[in-house]
Amino acid sequence: MIAGVYGFPRCPGDNATLCDWARKLLNLGAYVSIVQDNLVQAEYWNDPLNQEEYKEASVFLADINNENKKNQTYKINLQTLKNFVMIKFTEDTMVQPKDSEWFGKYEDGSTEKVLSLFETDLYKEDWLGLQAMNATGRLHFLATVGDHLQVDEDWLIKNVIDVFLK
């Protein structure tokens, strides 16, 4: 689970103009119902410049993150986890902002300032129980060098499997 993405996957980072142009094009169609219903990537689109449309039209992310109607079942189910381990890929070219892999997100109204999980209403108001999990030592933030989902097997064994799955 992530807080959502707002960027063109694998956009050449040195060309901010091209990336911004591509992002603007994606904004035009990301919340169209046929796109939301048929393109998984659109379900993760979280436009910080248009939070009202995001919350109204998102068929997955806004719901699962309890941003509209608070579904207590989501919170209760997460609380059954012994540990919630989130992994951020430091060289990720797919997810923007990268901190959304740890439930961070762009500040509403900004495409520059990134809020950490701890600065979001999701955490402060404990919509999903992440604050409660953190208070009991069950929320874990790991980072690994690599691009999107490119995990070194030795790192995975040492840091995830041996620590959390044995």
Structural domain contains residue 4: no
Determine the structural domain holding residue 123 and report its residue range: 17-165
Q: What is the pLDDT of residue 44?
A: 82
Q: What is the pLDDT of residue 166?
A: 83
Q: pLDDT of 43-64, one tens digit each? A: 888 889 889 999 999 989 999 9
Q: Span 133-148, mean pLDDT?
A: 95
Structural domain contains residue 144: yes
Structural domain contains residue 101: yes
Structural domain contains residue 112: yes
Instruction: Catalogue the long-range contacts made by 95-100 (C-beta closer than 8 Å, 24 or more residues apart).
Output: 95/2, 95/5, 95/7, 95/9, 95/148, 96/5, 96/6, 96/7, 96/8, 96/9, 96/11, 97/6, 97/7, 100/2, 100/3, 100/4, 100/5, 100/46
Give the count of domains, the chain. 1
Kindly report the CATH number assigned to the domain that includes residue 48.
3.40.50.1820
Q: Span 122-146, mean pLDDT?
A: 97
